[in-house]
Structure 1
Amino acid sequence: MDDTHMQIGEVAARTELSLRTIRHYEETGLVVPSARSRGGFRLYTETDVARLMVIRRMKPLGFTLEQMRDLLDATDRLESHDPLDADEREVLLERVRTYRQDAAEQVEKLRVQLARAEDFVATLGAHLERNAPSARL
């Protein structure tokens, strides 16, 4: 990935996260700026942005900060240049598979909720159409 550094404002715009949220994730150890400017400003890389996007995608699915940390740890270790033995690799892959399955289940629940919400909107629309002044003519 590109090693170009971005300040937190650009990262916030790219990830659609607030500055406060990014700082919170930094305080909790989920993301660490890759560098600091001479003036002490946080500097981030594309890798940091990708990490924040994983966090942003996990949040609406109800994952906790600890679960986010656990998944990021597993993916970091899998993508690391440090050698892993076959057993360790399989354990990490199983952790990722479990998170994938949990995410898929949450997405399905959200689909059901969305379908119910759309039905509700349609019901209200039908009610308005039946009771609009022009319908009484």
Structure 2
Amino acid sequence: MTADTATGTMHIGELAEKTGLSLRTIRHYDEIGLLKASGRTEGGFRLYTQEDLSRLILIRRMKPLGFSLEEMIELLKVIDILQGGESGSDNPEVREELGNFIRLAVERREKLQQQLKMADEFLDLLRRQ
């Protein structure tokens, strides 16, 4: 299945190909509300937009930092409020919640950097054998 150039939509297979995620993962994200399909064909196939692709890429970038699905849903809600121009975008609580996610991401990134450094040291030890 390929993208529908007339409507700018794509089927789940193309979305999976562009993101490197499995069809099963994308379907699961739909089922739990993390990434709902923007529409359906007459045959019931999921249709996704470029915006959906961008959102899925954002979700994919959260995965290496160990965000749970629940955390991803909460963060996407915050992002939707801030990008949607809703009255909540000026809400200090929403900004604070975003700040908390940023701090958490920074902490997790630093932990990954430490793990990568240890892995590099381990490889150096092996190579010296």
Runs (5+) with no aligned partner, structure 1? 128-137
Aligned to 2:12: 8
The amino acid across from 2:106 in the alignment is: A
Seq. identity, %: 46
TM-score (structure 1 length as normaliser): 0.84
Q: For residues 13-38 of structure 1, what are the alpha-carbon distances to aligned partners after superposition, in whole Å with 9 as ceiling and x for unaligned?
A: 11111000000111111010001111
Asked if 1:30 is matched to 2:15, the reply is: no
- Greater RCO between the two (CA within 8 Å, min separation 6)? 1
Q: For residues 5-60 of structure 1, what are the alpha-carbon distances to aligned partners after superposition, in whole Å with 9 as ceiling and x for unaligned?
A: 01001100111110000001111110100011111110001111111112111112
The amino acid across from 1:13 in the alignment is: E
Aligned to 1:61: 65
Asked if 1:108 is matched to 2:103, the reply is: no
- CA-CA distance at 1:84 after TM superposition: 3.6
Runs (5+) with no aligned partner, structure 2? 1-6
Q: 1:124 to 1:95 in 2, by over 3 A?
A: same
TM-score (structure 2 length as normaliser): 0.89
Aligned to 1:18: 22
Q: Which of 90, 97, 101 is the aligned partner of 1:95?
A: 97
* Structure 1 moving runs of 4+ over 4 Å: none
Aligned to 1:49: 53
Number of residue pairs aligned between Structure 1 and Structure 2? 123
Larger CA Rg, structure 1 vs 2:
1
